[in-house]
Structure 1
Amino acid sequence: MMIDRRQLARLTLILLLVAASRILRLDVWSMQPGPDEVWSVWQTLGSLQDVIRWTPYDWPPGYYVTLWFWRNLVGIHPIAVRMLSVFAMLIGAAAMYRAGRLWSGRRAGTFAAIAYSALGYIIFLSIELRGYALLLGLMPLALWLMLRYFRRPGWQRGVLLGVVMAAMFYVSLTGIVAAGMLFLIALVRWPRAVWRWWLPAGVGVLLFLPELLNKLSLSVSRIHALSAVEDAPLSAIPALYAQYAGDGAFVWLCLFVLAVVALALRRRLWTRKGLALALWCAMPVALYLTNNLLGFFYSRYSWWVMPGLALWIAWGLALLPRLVATTAGLVMAGLLFLEPPLDDYQIGPSGLALDFAFLAQNAQTGDVLLLDPECPCNVPVELDYYRRVYFPQGLRYVSSAGDYRRVWYLSYWVDNQALLSDVETNRVLMRTFGPARAQLKLYEAPPNPEGVAFENGLVFHGIDFPDHDGPVVLHEGEALPVRLWWSAERPIDLDYSVGLYLVSERAGTIAQHDGPPGVDAAGATSQWETGRYYIDERVLELPHGLPQSTHELRLSVYHWADQERVPAPGIDDDGTLLLEKIHIMAW
């Protein structure tokens, strides 16, 4: 079957939109990896033999083996490994186009690719690190190959269909149910040719037989477990359809009804094709009635229903007038970018993904991480995975705050008071980030706990450069944020000012900042209390046109009324204290 250039351009545009709608959601800030996703990647952190040996008892090894090869190719960062799911989705969208085209022509193929890719639950599954993502590519491929095989039988087509079905079986045991759905479609659509299933079914069973025998014991334990499954209310049936659709459920309902009307007006409902597709779309009802026996009345286990829903909508829309059909197609294209309801789809993430991503952006050399052992986020597999992703050179964990200057404290919203007291001793809470179940707090001690005591009672405890973890090197004209640490060793009588100067022997003072401390409390030093630290944050603005040079950053304390600088150990003849060498680079 040849595709003309217009169709090729249309399909390429669809695939680009599908790819964009997924890639925009790959990072952890858009969708945090759930515990099962982290486990999937963590399972591959070994040899190929290890991966096969570590495969969970209720999963075949196909997905984990595939992910192992992919992980060795691209690494373990969530964005990189999730691209495997995106590529599988693109294969599924392309195959859905071909299947829709074989089902009812070019327009149906176009709408099938869009509808399949835009369903809310498919959007979620196609960026999740689970085996279901591969099935989203394999199921449409098997559907297309089945339609080709029964239209024009041949042993090559039959064998290829069998191989794809075997791949579905090796990815997930739900692939067996999906293959059974394809058999029912063929039974209704081509009842006299159903015997032709012997070839693809034989190939599929033969290839999967070793794993099938390995999983027979699982079926016994599953049947025993299902005896305790409670009956779901009838309202669970429409709720399952709504879960397939996502937040655009009302729009999808309108499109489905529109497709029904179009099929009825064209007298397609009671044809064999109509009955076959109606059976596919109604399968959640059958799953509901057999839930105590099969246990598949669940969105993850019934993922294979969604291709049927997409094909039904596409078939009906293709029969509408061009303007109406085009409008519907554009609406579905817009649904590609509708956010999926993650709270309904995802097992609650721990929050560690965001914490470690934030920590990687803000941690400095020498920082340590202290984890509250009572925190629900204390999940060893996730801690190990995110440490590998964001700190491949290592991250130092500690069990107590000790004498470390910067301590990142990871805890539940209800703190361990004994541990918190240890962290807070001689430290200041600088930053707080993350959800309550995994809250990350930075506690920081001053650079110089002993400090330099000025005669007026102020004690200077050192300087930090928030934007520099090492030598301070700047461009001419750049801003230099600084953080000055202070305390009061006794009550201060007057309100003092602080001067910060960037000076050189040749050019003199090139930048300065004078004024009362801009602290986390009132700037009036006469109001300062003993026994705590005060932080003075300032920004020095460097002038433009500076030559390449090295300057001294100096500090002074003075009273604003008489401008007399207060003495302290280490000050020079001008009453200033040397803080740091600042390097300015310019052509």
Structure 2
Amino acid sequence: MLKASSRAWMIGVLIIGMCAVVLITGIDKVHMHADESLVYDFTRADLPYLVRYLAEQDSHPPLWFSSFWLWRQFVGEGEFAGRMLAVSYSLLTLAMVYQIGRCWFGAPRYGLFAMAVLGVNAYFFIYALEIRPYGLIMLLVTTSMWTFQRWQTRQTGRSAMWYAITIGLMLYVHYFLFVLMIVQALVFLLSRPTLKLIRQALHVVLMIFLIWLPWLPFAVYQVMHVRQAEMAGGNARGVVGAGTTTQPTSIESALSLARLATNGQVVLYAVIILIGLVLLWRRANYRLALAWGLGVPTMSMLINTLVAVYTPRYVVYMVVGLALIVGASLAYWPRIARWPMMIGVVALSLSALPTQLPHSRVPLRDLYQEVSIAAQPEDVIFFDDGDLSDGFVRGQIRRYLDPDLWARRVETQEEAISYRRIWYVTGYEWFLPETRERFGNIERTHPLQQIIGQCDRDWCYLLQLLEAPPFPQPELFSNIVAFQGVDIDALTEHSLATRLWWTANEALPRDYSISLQLLDSEGRLVAQSDGPIVDFYSGKSIQTSQLEPGRIYIDSRAITLPVNLPNGEYELVLVMYQSWDNTRLVLPDGSDHLRIAPLSVNNP
């Protein structure tokens, strides 16, 4: 029989393992954005260059960027590797949450419940995968709150020192973490500190100053430089801060944050928190968690009215405190109700998690990888803009598009038309009349075959395959129906899938049948498919009397192969005939059938 502490430890490991699976599998669902791409640009050279660049030309402190630079040297350059650094920080945060919940509230279940609530939170999930400092911020803030509470409780010089170190490290990661410092200072003052704690607090302030002193001149320069740039660009807001990357304080911004932090379950979380207030208000550590989870965003929005410091990502660490509040409230319930309630809340949050994920990022990685797989050796790619002039987009294209296809890009509509298969790339310019006109000019001779991407309210990015008929010169049946070639799309043990290309030179008065036949090396009929044209786009039958002169039609035609068809060499033959008397239409040379393609069958 396992002890209660061992069971709790094993459950904690299981929760962290499940969260690791969710985060790691989630990497494939997350797509890079421009700010993440800049991280790779900043860290492309050596470490001294990185620190010098940040100090002189950017607005960030160096600690996280330096850690990412080091990570790149040992783990690799890929996007997956980059996100794994954030995942590592985030999993350590979850482990810290268990310890905090267990120690602050006196039982392991408080830590377990907080871990479970945090692990299915969309706010946490989004920034736990960002190739930016937020994973490290959540870890450092969690460590800082841990050391802050220990210092308040133990009141020793050693515990004060560790708290000061965490604050110093935080300021080397992100300047706007001073909001947390203000909240901690208010908690400290409202707790009626002893004279001993006040003296230690002065030592803490001095130690933080000494830790941060080497970077302080650069930080002052960065703040002044950002202010000057925003004043020049007309983006300045507040006395100081980052007006370009923040948003004004408003009821809508507060509600938006509440929806994100609760997976859209604002009312449910509010009820749980109100119940926790009634049950746990007298506990100092619960009030500390409230200051963390609710006090931080409140303070940030208040300061934001004077200094531009608020946007959801800058206070993402509040979600850890929120998880502790909700987890503690659930864990305090009677034994018979606490676990079912926790499981229900976690299940509901997990089901609602996808609704809060960002949907506006264009999945350039997936789109260009899909095109690279679908492309054939002679394909070309035509960027009718497609945001190619955007440095971030161009970098993603170069990273994920097949290099050979990138090398075969064409610059003009006229050049594109000279090739058979064209990948036509557009972004939001797809809605422009001139773009549609250029597309239509190509599509008249190169019918649309495939669309990769989408164009809706979330994002618009399309890679459309336009393909001309295979034969440069058509084969005429009775000088009225032009056969323009065949594409063999798939050959399996059971069937053969093809596309037959047709054009009518004039309106046809009759409905002719088409027969695609497979002959063996002796010329014997093995299999065939007869009937009218089956439209490639709609799947519906089109009789030859319905064909519009000059328009290209694609016949999607499949042949069912005989069971145990012997391996060997075969040939595809095409026949057009009158179904009422089996009279065949003839070709210019007088033959009544057209040999269109050899075929090799090599089944295992």
Q: TM-score, structure 1 length as denominator?
A: 0.84
- Matched pairs, number: 568
Which residue identity lines up with residue 86 of structure 1 in the other structure?
V
Find the residue that maps to 2:312 and give its secondary structure: coil
Shift of 1:388: 0.7
> Which of 262, 273, 289 does residue 245 from structure 1 map onto?
262
Deviates more, 1:99-108 or 1:436-445: 436-445
Shift of 1:164: 4.7
Question: Do the aligned partners of 1:168 and 1:175 also contact (CA within 8 Å) in 2?
Answer: yes
Which residue identity lines up with residue 210 of structure 1 in the other structure?
P
Shift of 1:550: 2.8
**Paired residue for 2:277?**
260
Gaps of 5+ in 2: none
**Paired residue for 1:273?**
285
Q: Any idea what the Cα deviations from partners look like across 1:365-416, whole Å, max 9, x if unmatched?
A: 222222223x567533123214312435552332222412111222233142
Q: Any idea what the Cα deviations from partners look like across 1:562-583, whole Å, max 9, x if unmatched?
A: 3233333689x77341313233
**Paired residue for 1:424?**
443
Q: Are 1:85 and 2:86 an aligned pair?
A: yes
Q: Are 1:122 and 2:124 an aligned pair?
A: yes
The 1-side partners of 2:26 and 2:47 are apart by 30
**Paired residue for 2:576?**
557
**Paired residue for 1:470?**
none
The 1-side partners of 2:14 and 2:471 are apart by 60
**Paired residue for 1:435?**
455
The 1-side partners of 2:401 and 2:465 are apart by 18
**Paired residue for 1:391?**
402
Q: Any idea what the Cα deviations from partners look like across 1:29-72, whole Å, max 9, x if unmatched?
A: x4443333344445545555565565561222333444444456
**Paired residue for 2:237?**
226
Shift of 1:152: 5.5
The 1-side partners of 2:310 and 2:439 are apart by 46
The 1-side partners of 2:199 and 2:496 are apart by 78
> Which of 351, 354, 359 does residue 338 from structure 1 map onto?
351
**Paired residue for 1:216?**
220
Which residue identity lines up with residue 382 of structure 1 in the other structure?
V
Sort the Cα spacing of 1:253 and 1:414 in 2 relative to 1 into closer, same or farther, 3 A: same
Sort the Cα spacing of 1:505 and 1:530 in 2 relative to 1 into closer, same or farther, 3 A: same
Question: Do the aligned partners of 2:61 and 2:175 also contact (CA within 8 Å) in 1?
Answer: yes
Shift of 1:455: 2.5
**Paired residue for 2:17?**
16
**Paired residue for 2:335?**
322
Larger RCO, structures 1/2 (Cα 8 Å, 6+ apart): 1
Sort the Cα spacing of 1:42 and 1:555 in 2 relative to 1 into closer, same or farther, 3 A: farther
**Paired residue for 2:36?**
37
* Paired-residue identity, %: 26
Find the residue that maps to 1:365 and give its secondary structure: coil
Question: Do the aligned partners of 2:379 and 2:405 also contact (CA within 8 Å) in 1?
Answer: no
Find the residue that maps to 1:434 and give its secondary structure: strand
Question: Do the aligned partners of 1:189 and 1:273 also contact (CA within 8 Å) in 2?
Answer: no
The 2-side partners of 1:71 and 1:557 are apart by 63
Question: Do the aligned partners of 2:585 and 2:592 also contact (CA within 8 Å) in 1?
Answer: no
Q: TM-score, structure 2 length as denominator?
A: 0.82
Find the residue that maps to 1:300 and give its secondary structure: helix
Shift of 1:240: 3.5
Find the residue that maps to 2:172 and give its secondary structure: helix
The 2-side partners of 1:3 and 1:318 are apart by 15
Question: Do the aligned partners of 2:101 and 2:110 also contact (CA within 8 Å) in 1?
Answer: yes
Find the residue that maps to 1:294 and give its secondary structure: coil
Deviates more, 1:377-386 or 1:454-463: 377-386
Give the aligned CA root-mean-square deviation in angstroms.
3.5
The 2-side partners of 1:4 and 1:44 are apart by 44
The 2-side partners of 1:452 and 1:53 are apart by 68
**Paired residue for 1:134?**
136
The 1-side partners of 2:486 and 2:74 are apart by 44
The 1-side partners of 2:523 and 2:343 are apart by 65
Q: Any idea what the Cα deviations from partners look like across 1:101-139, whole Å, max 9, x if unmatched?
A: 121121221122223333332222223333213322332
Sort the Cα spacing of 1:510 and 1:101 in 2 relative to 1 into closer, same or farther, 3 A: same
5 Å-filtered alignment, 1:496-575, equals 496-505=512-521, 508-519=524-535, 523-568=542-587, 575=593
